[in-house]
Amino acid sequence: MYVATKFPKNSSRSAWVEMLPPRKPGLSLNGAVIADVAIIGAGFAGLSAARRLSQLDPTLRVAVLEAGVVGEGATGRNSGFIIDLPHEVSSEDFGDTSTERARRDITLYRTAISLATDMAKEYGWGREIIDPCGRFSVAISQKGDSHIVNYARQLQGLGESHQLLDAKGIYDVTGSRIYTSGLYMPGTVMVQPAAYIRAVADSLRSPVTLYENSPVQSFEKQSGNWLLKTANGSVTAKRVILANNGHAQSFGLFRGKMLHVFTYASMTESFDPNRLSGKRDWAATPALPMGTTVRRVSGVDGDRILIRSRYSYHAGLEINEGHVRSAGRVHDSKFADRFPDLAGVKMQYRWGGPMALTWNSVPIFGEIEQGLFAACACNGLGASKSTAAGIAAAEAALGVKSQLVEIFSNYDSPKNLPPQPFLSIGAKADLKLREWRAGRE
């Protein structure tokens, strides 16, 4: 029997959730249910798995169990980048191995994008939910400029569309004079993550059923099936997909395999769009790893700027308001540096969100026991990687042989992490070192 020792706990609410109308309470599990497949978690991975299962077999009875309210967990704390290209094609060289790895990653990411864009077309979602606007990589230093030029060269080698921008070119986009160069990549799709995942959830049709506010307390194998228990009900299913990322460890699974890191974001109050030149909707990732992600979001009441930076390690899968406030002070400084024309504009929302990493940056995927499948350890880029993992887990659960399943199945096994307290000491030191290397970026 796998018994949960803790459940997801959020210390703050993200801007994405706060800017939406309150969600109408969904169905909670009450009583005994029989399903063909049970999915634990209704984020990017879980709902993508449900979507794919219904595509493969519309008669499948699927029960999706979400501990809280859809959109209020880790997915709704994402920055909304469903990227199509890896941040790094190669860290050192551009040999055959790195090219093959890059093409593998691109296949994963574009499969995720296809699921999102196909749903947008099917259900008529607008740009307030999903926007195929592409993304920019931006630099504010000579080191960042060099990285962008090298990365553009690698993209050219892959035959991928991109556009290099000088300081004036990126200023015309962002309205910020701090940026010294930029690189535009048109394939990224941006989402309002809370609105997107709500829309995916609300698109599910019988015999797929979503149960919100229904945390799984335990699950065990009984007579060839899996029995999942919640406070007020149970699900009996032949197959189970674990789509709860780091919280799979709360059931005692994957001990010593996952590193729990939180990243933080702040979003401004609305401001008059005329105060800042440039485009009204754009999204930029930093040229250097661990730098600052920035996104401008337009709205009927004005525009907002999102700043995301800072990372912290928390073995207990929880942060508090103090961690959020500490990161917020860094965000305020980053915002002031980049947008002096917006002096006086305050941050209205601040939040943090979890990532589950492995030592060797591989997912935890596949059939770990008969009928028990994992789609965990996103290693960052959750919107892209978790979506792809959910699709692949659904295919694997039904015995479908696909390119996506093959890619996930061919990853190395996750390496064991060092024991405590060495893990905590090393993880915290490594994060600080990486942030220091990113500098002003």
pLDDT tens track for 75-97: 999 999 999 998 764 333 333 45
**How confident is the model at residue 88, as a pLDDT?**
62
The per-residue pLDDT string of the chain (441 residues; one tens digit each, 9 = 90 and over) reads 999 999 988 878 899 999 999 998 789 999 999 999 999 999 999 999 999 999 999 999 999 999 999 999 999 999 999 999 987 643 333 334 578 889 999 999 999 999 999 999 999 999 999 999 999 999 999 999 999 999 999 999 999 999 999 999 999 999 999 999 999 999 999 999 999 999 999 999 999 999 999 999 999 999 999 999 999 999 999 999 999 999 999 999 999 999 999 999 999 999 999 999 999 999 999 999 889 999 999 999 999 999 999 999 999 999 999 999 999 999 999 999 999 999 999 999 999 999 999 999 999 999 999 999 999 999 888 899 999 999 999 999 999 999 999 999 999 999 999 999 989 999 999 988 888 888 888
d(CA 72, CA 387): 17
**How confident is the model at residue 9, as a pLDDT?**
87
d(CA 411, CA 290): 24
**How confident is the model at residue 24, as a pLDDT?**
87
- Token readout for 394 is 């659904």
d(CA 333, CA 27): 43
d(CA 191, CA 286): 19
Q: What is the 3-state secondary structure (H, E, C) of the chain?
A: CEECCCCCCCCCCCHHHHCCCCCCCCCCCCEEEEEEEEEECCCHHHHHHHHHHHHHCCCCCEEEECCCCCCCCCHHHCCCEECCCCCCCCCCCCCHHHHHHHHHHHHHHHHHHHHHHHHHHHHCCCCCCEECCCEEEEECCHHHHHHHHHHHHHHHHHCCCCEEECHHHHHHHHCCCCCCEEEEECCCEEECHHHHHHHHHHHCCCCEEEECCCCCCEEEEECCEEEEECCCEEEEEEEEEECCHHHHHHHCCCCCCEEEEEEEEEEECCECHHHCCCCCCEEEEECCCCCCEEEEEEECCEEEEEEEEEEEECCCCCCCHHHHHHHHHHHHHHHHHHCHHHCCCCEEEEEEEEEEEECCCCCEEEEEECCEEEEECCCCCHHHHHHHHHHHHHHHHCCCCCHHHHHHHCCCCCCCCCCCCHHHHHHHHHHHHHHHHHCCC
Question: Is residue 421 reached through a cis peptide bond, with omega within 30 degrees of 0 on the bond before it?
Answer: yes
Query: Which CATH number is 2-77+194-255+359-418's, of 3.40.50.720, 3.30.70.260, 3.40.1280.10, 3.50.50.60?
Result: 3.50.50.60
**How confident is the model at residue 89, as a pLDDT?**
47
Exposure on the CB side of residue 313, measured as CA atoms within 13 A: 18
User: Does the global pTM surpass 0.75?
Assistant: yes
pLDDT tens track for 265-299: 999 999 999 999 999 999 999 999 889 999 999 99
d(CA 371, CA 367): 7
